[in-house]
Amino acid sequence: MEAFFRSAVSHFCLGEHFAESTLDHRDVDAVWTLEDDGKVLKTIHVDKKSGVEWTVEEGGQVQHMTLRCKDVVCTNTFKRLNRN
């Protein structure tokens, strides 16, 4: 079995929309913002071909992800495990 790892670097200004290519080669419109007095990093990507939008909100121990495609909405919540 082979494994492939990709990494990317993005340069952007908070609150400004910019064109980005995802690691799976999709062209998206992206915007990154800080919310809740800088405690939450929010990312919104909109696929330029399909119009699918996904939002990720990260702050503290929780990450919320929302995916919208036409009238269908999917939400996921991820919680960080405390490993001692």
User: Is residue 69 situated within a structural domain?
Assistant: yes
Domain that holds residue 72: 18-79
Percent of the chain beyond pLDDT 90? 67
Reported pTM: 0.80
In terms of pLDDT, which residue wins out, 82 or 17? 17
Domain-embedded: residue 43: yes
pLDDT for position 4: 75
Give a yes or no: residue 65 inside a domain.
yes
In a domain? residue 59: yes
Q: Which residues contact 76 (CB under 8 A, 6 or more apart)?
A: 64, 65, 66
Does some domain include residue 13?
A: no
For the segment 2-43, what is each residue's pLDDT rounded down to a tens digit? Answer: 777 788 888 899 999 999 998 888 999 999 999 999 899 999
32 lies in a domain? yes
| Domain count across the chain | 1
The sign of the CA dihedral 57, 58, 60, 64 is: positive
Q: Evaluate whether residue 72 is within a structural domain.
A: yes
How many Å separate Cα 29 from the centre of its chain? 11
